[in-house]
A and B are shown apart, each in its own frame.
Chain A
Amino acid sequence: MIWLQSISCNGNAHSFFNHPHLFSILSSFELVYHPLLETKYNLIEVLEGNLECDILILEGSFKKEGFQKNGVEILDIAEAYASKAKKIVVVGTCATFGGVFKEADPTNISGFCFNGNDTTERYKKYASKLIALSGCPIHPKWLSYVLMMFIKNRPIPVDEFHRPQELYGITVHTGCSRNEYFEWKIDTKGWGLKEGCLFYENGCQAPYTKGSCNKILWNDTSSKTIVGTPCFGCTEPTFPKANLFRTKTNMGIPATMPLGIPKRAYLTATGIAKSFRIRRFEERIISYDD
């Protein structure tokens, strides 16, 4: 297994490093190179392009030319190993779609096989062995899932972007601790409150963002929406959008609907929910004053 970084912040490497069973998972692999862990080969040897590679992990966005390490164009070396590898896993939204760093040079920087919603010229070559784990960063257990499925030789059902359906088939909204407030259209009244939903005003994109953040919790304990931070839609090709802390509304109606819900259906349900005042949802759950 080779973990190769392109234009990256290293967030995915650090996230994976936090896996509670990191070493037992890695014991099934020969780690040829990794940006944090001590490995038999160093980067200069990797960049020569002659090392064995069954699984190639790519992190960071790609530039056709102009991004080198030790005089070697990273995209070229990535393709050299990609051709050899049996499996390619792109980790992070940058490697999948282009992500944050694509914004510095949208014409020349993209993901490995996808450029936003479109495919790149590399897609045809590598699609048959590609698994994409978008996210900024990825959760360590998403990668361990893919790696262990490889070990057990099980096929991984994927969506149109080659993201595993078991992880990306649901929305981030599934399992959020604020679901009841969403159901009854109770907006949270500002920042820093556990009561209320973040979708109506606070910019939360969870109802239309694919991901399992509220099912496989972050750091095994939490998630953005649980602690009152809106979901920023980081697993999607459009990340980052603009105005991430505010919900775009047209006359108070959210501009983007929950995934797959027609506007009429949403508005009818909203109208009904809003017609009733549920006392419990208007009150704070805990009071600390005696």
Chain B
Amino acid sequence: MKIADKKALKRESILLTSLHLFSIYGFHKTTIPDIAKALKMSVGNLYNYFSSKDMLAKEIIKYTSDVIGSEIRAINMMDISTDKKIYKIVEVYFIMAKEKPEMIEYFLRVYLSNREVFNDGCEGMICVSSFITEIMIFFDDGVESGALRNQDFFSAFGLFMGYLGGMVFLKGENVLPQNIEFYIDDISRNIFNALKA
């Protein structure tokens, strides 16, 4: 394996391990030495990959945004109707919440709740741009095809993402009586009914 590929794999494993530790012990309580220890790396070596914990925090958000973004991109490329795309997006989001809870948890409980960590280097939405771009493409295609009502972007975005984020939050609080997949059908129908032309 080339050195570059090895480094990339290592980098990714640091990101995933950090995510895992943050979700168990919390963002502030987890330290760089904790992460290094879990990876059986030296702290110095870890600093070669990420110069600070804040830097690591920003890279994680970009990483999670890329992961979700590429799933939604694949859905956007599919030749299916808008309401089916909504179903698939909700499905992807909820399954990720179930199988990789630390990613969505990170977004809700670390990124949104610790803005001061992300102020410098993650201005506005640049660190989540891969995800936002795909949502924009989805909305643009939906309005262009006549399926969705033309409206202000943020009204539609707030409805869609706020709804999904809220459900995942409730899941995280163990308040939902059913498995999260149970809700995919109703929720996607609600979203489509709210946004359709």
Task: Write the residues of chain A forming the contact surface with B, with a CB cutoff of 8 angstroms.
Answer: 249-253, 255, 263-264, 267-268, 271-272, 274-276
* A264 & B137 in contact (Cβ 8 Å cutoff): yes
Given contacts A251-B152, A252-B152, A275 and B144 within 8 Å (CB-CB): no
Chain B 100-133: CB-based contact to A (< 8 A → 1; otherwise 0): 0000000000000000000000011110011011
Tell me whether B143 and A272 are in contact (CB under 8 A). Answer: no
Number of A-B residue pairs with CB-CB distance less than 8 Å in the complex they form: 55
Residues of B within 8 A of A252 (CB): 152-154
Contact of B140 among A250, A272, A274 (CB under 8 A): A250
On B, residues with C-beta under 8 Å from A are 123-126, 129-130, 132-133, 136-137, 139-140, 142-144, 148, 150-154, 156
Contacts of A251 in B (CB 8 A): 136, 139-140, 143, 148, 150-153, 156
In the bound complex, CA of A125 to CA of B52 (Å):
71
What are 22 pairs between A and B in contact, CB < 8 Å? A249-B150, A250-B142, A250-B143, A251-B139, A251-B143, A251-B150, A251-B152, A251-B153, A252-B152, A252-B154, A253-B139, A253-B153, A267-B132, A267-B136, A268-B130, A268-B133, A271-B132, A272-B126, A274-B124, A275-B125, A275-B126, A275-B129
Alpha-carbon separation in the docked complex, A251 to B133 (Å): 13
Chain A residues contacting B136 (CB-CB under 8 Å) are 251, 253, 267, 271
Chain B residue with Cβ nearest A275: B124
- Of the candidates A250, A264, A274, A275, which one forms a contact with B150 in the assembled complex, judged by CB atoms under 8 Å apart? A250
B133 in contact with A275 (CB, 8 Å)? no
Other than the given A250-B144, A252-B152, 14 more pairs (CB < 8 A) read: A250-B139, A250-B140, A250-B143, A251-B139, A253-B136, A253-B153, A263-B140, A267-B132, A267-B136, A267-B137, A268-B129, A268-B133, A275-B125, A275-B129
Residue among A255, A267, A274 facing the most chain B CB atoms (10 A cut-off): A267
Minimum CB–CB distance from A240 to chain B (whole Å) comes to 22
Considering only CB atoms, which chain B residue lies closest to A250 in the complex? B143
User: Chain B residues near A271 (CB, 8 Å)?
Assistant: 124-126, 129, 132-133, 136
Residue of A nearest to B130 (CB): A268
> A residues within 8 A CB of B137?
263-264, 267
Known interface pairs A251-B139, A251-B151; A276-B133 also in contact (CB < 8 Å): no
